[in-house]
Structure formats: structure tokens, C-alpha cells
Amino acid sequence: MDGAQTISGCHLCQRSGNVKWKCVSCQLLLCNTCKSNVHPKFKLADTHLIIDIKDVGTSIEYSYKEIEYGKCSWHINQDTNLYCKDCSSLVCPKCVSETHQQHVLVDTDQIYTEKESQLSNLIELYKLKITSNTNINKIFQNKYDESKGTIIKRKEDIAKILDDHSTKMLYQLEEKCKNTDFDSELEDLNKTLDILLKCRQSRRGDLLLDTLKTIQDTEIQHDLAACFPRFVMGRPISRKIIEKFGSFKEETVLDPNEEIILKLKSSHVTSLKMIKRIVEDLGGTFYVIDESSLYRVVLKKGEKLQTKKITDIKAFDISFFKCNEILIAMQTEGKIMILKQSLNMKLFHSFSGLLPRAIHRTKDDKVIVGVREAGELLLSPGEDCKRQIIILDINGLEENVFEYDKDGQRIVSMPMKIKTNSDDDMLIIDMISKLEGRIVFLTKNGNVSWVYNADESSYSLFKPWDLVVTSRDNAIISDITNQAFHILNSKGQLIKMMRSIDIGLSLPFSLLINQEGDLLVGTSIDDSVDTYQHKSTYIFRITVKGI
């Protein structure tokens, strides 16, 4: 029962407080006696709707409530009994005869049923919206608390560094000042002066001669070497140092219960046997590599895909560099080359005895490279084979190398693809055998935060080939063996696994999120699968939502 409605007593006898019924037609509360003996005497009482008092204020009462359409606004004494679709208004018989004869008229109950359905849908949408906003508000508060705690922790860390440094400098100052000879020197000078004064007062020649033999004026010709460690203020804190404290990044907060959608938008057939990697330049032009060449691809909506070979080259991976130059991880030479817009090649970095398998340029122009010694992919624990994650600066100079975790275990075995999130942490596709791989999350400081093996989600061995990181720092990974997409959150937890064939594509290889926010998927031909879907390679454009 609606809490706002108060049950007083029977509306008919006005004596009994034991109300048991309500006549919805009369809008009267009734006791048992009046329901049985008095109400039946009402005109057309047998057509009235009477409900149990416990159902008052519920959907049961609402469903029995007679629909009212009101009086006509033009003819005050007339009831409205039809709905004019042309005018979108309720009308009475006089209205029909006067102005609505040629209009489309429907029964009021029919239009009420239609509009009630729209109303119910709208109510459900608002309920979902309120639930979603409530969830978002909770997430927003959690993110606020998290960011506030991070800022305070950052301030405390920097304050501790400054405090430790200032304590060290104060100690050094005290030590330097404590070790000076000012006091002893001053005492010696006062003693000598006292001797000289006594000698002069004595008026004795022998004492004068003896004193001057022992005390010479050369002893006071040289000043005491007094070096005071005066503190010199450093330069004012620069804007760059302040920026290194941290900054804010706009992040869209969405309901975690929002449905994840990967929907096929368009498909474009190619003449290549494999689309190994796909990248996009600042102008929206795409480049792909297969096993032996680099191609420029024009991919316009509603138009046929155009492919043009740029150069013959065997590469493990490619990434865009500055000014739309392309970084190429060479397959056989152990080098990273820069392909300039003039199509000339320039050496960026050479690795001694190592092959660059994965390459990625970060938003601050660092180049992250996954390298491994040439040879078979062996996994014996005692294998003496270098496999490293190397950070290079914009000039190709080595800044850092990560090879072992804090427990002394190798971080990667065969790094095949590297991407970074908004915090510059790394997600690495690492092949641990020819048939199986994993995802390693490596922080920018070189710590392994989590590893994803797809143990429980995959039907067959997990063989990742490519990955992308979304604006929410979630990851989409293409899985060749299972023909699937694995969607992970920033903590390495599986949000969803989706079979690629369920959305109309097979053998997903290379991935790219383009500037429009669509997911591009390049495929490969698999001669072992006898189906028409695998006779050509495609670039698919996928609409992505909720990731």
C-alpha cells in the first residue's frame, strides 16, 4: 500500500475501522458489512471493481483503475471518445463533425494502449539511466578518492626526498663548521699577546731579547684560511619539474555494467596473403606489412580498398615515428631502420647479436623494443639467451634495459608486440612456445604487475598475435588459435572473450584503433582451413562500444 495513503474507516457506515475492501469505481473504502449489504444497492454495482485493501496503492489497483480521457477543450460538456492522429489530440463527436471528418481517427483505448507501451519503455529507460548514473557516481567517488590519495602520496614522497636532502646538507654544514680552528687560533693569539704586553711592562732588556727570539712577526703575517660553506640557493623550481609531479587527464567514466559491443561495420578484401601489422599516420593513411613488403592502403567508406606497394622489406614489426616516418624492426639484420618520406632508409639503432621483434613508439617519443637472440624458441630454465625490453630515446640512444624481474626471473621469452597505456606502462605479447603465448604487464619502472595466460577462457592454446589499448586502458587481443578477441581490464582481468566468427570474420591477426575510434582487423589466409572465408584476406572495420 502506498505509504502516503492513510486508511481511516469505512466510508459508508463511518463507524467500522475494520476496512477490508476498496471499490475502485466509487473510490470508497468498505468494511465487510457495507461491502455485502450496502454497496450492492448502488446503481450498476455489479459492474464496479472491488479489491482487497492490501492491494491498494499497488499495480493491482492501477490495472483496475478506469481510464479517464476528460472533457473536450472546445466543447465543454462533451466527453472525448476518439483520438485524431493528424492533430495528435483527443476529440469529441462534435469535433469530428466540425473539423476532423477527413482525418485519421482511432479509438481512445487503442491509442492509450500504444502510448502506455511507450510510457512503460520510457520508465524502464529512466530506471536504467538512474541505476547507471548511480553506478557512475560511485565510480567517480572512488576515482576521486584514488586520485586524491595518489596526489597526497606523491607530495609526501617528494617532501621526504627534500627533507632527507636538507637534513643531509644541515649535517654537512655542522660538520664543516665544527672542524674549524677559530677557537684554538684565537686562544693562541690571546696568549701570545699577553706575553708581549708583560714583556713591555717589565722594562727588562734580557726578557725583551729572549721574547723576540721565540716570537717572530712572521707568525701573524698569514691569515687563517677561513672557508665558510655558505648555502647558495638553487634555481627556482622550473615548470618542467612541476610538470613531473603529475597532471590531470580527462577520463570518461562509464557504467561498468554497460554492454560490450563489437559490431562489424564494413569489410574490404585485399590481394595480400597476410596482413601482418597495420598502422595509421597522422593524416589517416594506413600502412601494412606482409612477409616481404610494405604497402600504403587507402581505406575510404563506401569505396574499394586501394593498395600500393611502397618497398620490398622483411620486417617483424613497424611503428610510426616523427613526421610520418616509419620505424621498421628488420627481420634479419638486427637493426631498426627509419623509412623516410623520400623512401630513403636511415639507421636508427643496431643491436649486437639481437633481433628486434616488437617495436613501439610512445606518446613522449620513446621507442620501446622487444629483442631476443636469433635461434629456436627454447624454454629450458637454464637457457642462456638474451631477451630484453629496451628503451631508446628519440635519437636511438639506449636509456634503459629490462631483462629480469625482482625475483631474478626473465621477464619475457619472445616479445612479439608492445603497447603502452596512459601511464606509460607496457603490455607485451610474449610467445613462450611456437603454439602458445601470454600477455605480460610491465610497469615503466620494470616491474611485472600481472600476467594473462587465458587458462580458463580459451578452447585451445592461447596464441595472441596483436593487441591494442583503448582510451579506458582496457586491452583487446587477437587470438589466432581460438579465432577470438580477449578483452582485459587494466588489472589483467578478462572482461569478455568473443569469438571473431560470431561477428563475421575469421583468423584475426593485426589490430589497430584508428583516429575515428573504430577497430581495424587485418586477417590472414589459412590454407589448412577449407572454407570460402579464408580464400582472401580482409581489413574489417569494427564498431567498438563499452570497452
Cβ–Cβ under 8 Å, residues 478 and 508? yes
Q: Please check whether residue 366 lies inside any domain of the structure.
A: yes
Reduced 3-state DSSP string for 345-388: EEEEEECCCEEEEEEEECCCCCEEEEEEECCCCCCCCCCCCCEE
Q: What pLDDT is recorded for position 346?
A: 92
Q: Which of 57-71, 90-104, 423-437, 501-515 has the lowest mean pLDDT?
A: 57-71
- Report pLDDT digits (tens) over 341-390: 888 899 999 998 899 999 999 988 899 999 998 766 554 434 567 889 99
Q: What pLDDT is recorded for position 254?
A: 58
Q: What pLDDT is recorded for position 309?
A: 92
Cβ–Cβ under 8 Å, residues 440 and 423? no
For residue 221, pLDDT beyond 60: no
Mean per-residue pLDDT, 75-94: 87
Query: Based on the number of CB atoms within 10 Å of its own CB, is 434 exposed (0-12), middle (13-18) or buried (19 or more)?
Result: exposed
Name the 3-class secondary structure at 502: helix
Q: What pLDDT is recorded for position 519?
A: 94
Q: Please check whether residue 184 lies inside any domain of the structure.
A: no
Cβ–Cβ under 8 Å, residues 522 and 275? yes
Q: Please check whether residue 429 lies inside any domain of the structure.
A: yes
For residue 243, pLDDT beyond 60: yes
Mean per-residue pLDDT, 195-203: 85
Cell of 534: 579464408
Q: Please check whether residue 361 lies inside any domain of the structure.
A: yes
The amino acid present at 45, given as its one-letter code, is: A
Instruction: List for the chain the helix, strand, coil content (%; round to 5).
Output: 30, 30, 40
Strand duo 89-91 + 82-84: pairing: antiparallel
Domain boundary among 21, 44, 67: 67
Buried b (16+ CB within 10 A) or exposed e, 46-71: eebebbebebbeeeebeeeeeeebee
- Cα–Cα nearest to 295, from 282, 312, 283, 281: 312
Q: How far apart are CA 75 and CA 94, in angstroms?
A: 7
Q: What pLDDT is recorded for position 239?
A: 65
Q: Rounding to the nearest 10 degrees, give the CA dihedral for residues 33, 34, 35, 41.
A: 130
Residue whose C-alpha cell is 592502403: 297
256 in the Ramachandran plot: left (φ > 0), alpha (ψ -120 to 50) or beta? alpha
Percent of the chain with pLDDT over 90: 27
Q: Please check whether residue 135 lies inside any domain of the structure.
A: no
For residue 222, pLDDT beyond 60: no
Helices vs. strands in the chain: H and E counts, helices first: 7, 30
For residue 201, pLDDT beyond 80: yes
Q: Please check whether residue 17 lies inside any domain of the structure.
A: yes
Cell of 150: 595518489
Q: Which of 3-17, 81-95, 112-126, 171-185 has the lowest mean pLDDT?
A: 3-17
Query: Quick count: other Cβ atoms within 10 Å of Cβ 99?
Result: 13
Domain boundary among 47, 67, 87: 67
- Report pLDDT digits (tens) over 458-499: 677 899 999 999 988 899 999 998 899 999 988 898 888 999
Q: Please check whether residue 543 lies inside any domain of the structure.
A: no
For residue 520, pLDDT beyond 80: yes
Name the 3-class secondary structure at 463: coil
The pTM (predicted TM-score) of the whole model is: 0.60
Domain range for 47 is 1-67
Residue 261 neighbours by CB under 8 Å, 6+ apart: 543, 544, 545, 546
DSSP 8-class letter at 132? H
Mean per-residue pLDDT, 97-122: 84
Domain boundary among 17, 39, 67: 67
Q: How far apart are CA 389 and CA 405, in angstroms?
A: 12
Mean per-residue pLDDT, 225-235: 66
Strand partners, 543: 263
Instruction: Calculate the average pLDDT of the chain.
Output: 83
Q: How far apart are CA 31 and CA 29, in angstroms?
A: 7
Q: Rounding to the nearest 10 degrees, give the CA dihedral for residues 239, 243, 248, 251.
A: 120
Q: Which of 76-80, 331-335, 426-430 has the lowest mean pLDDT?
A: 76-80
Q: What pLDDT is recorded for position 465?
A: 94
Mean per-residue pLDDT, 278-289: 87
Mean per-residue pLDDT, 184-199: 83
Strand duo 426-431 + 28-31: pairing: unpaired
Query: How many structural domains is the chain composed of?
Result: 2
Name the 3-class secondary structure at 213: helix
Q: Please check whether residue 382 lies inside any domain of the structure.
A: yes
The continuous run of DSSP H or E covering 510 comes out as strand 508-513
Q: What pLDDT is recorded for position 398?
A: 92
- Report pLDDT digits (tens) over 128-148: 888 888 888 888 888 888 888
How far is C-alpha 318 from the geometric centre of its chain's CA atoms?
24
Cβ–Cβ under 8 Å, residues 320 and 285? no
- Report pLDDT digits (tens) over 523-545: 987 654 444 445 688 899 999 88
Q: What pLDDT is recorded for position 2?
A: 44
For residue 275, pLDDT beyond 80: yes
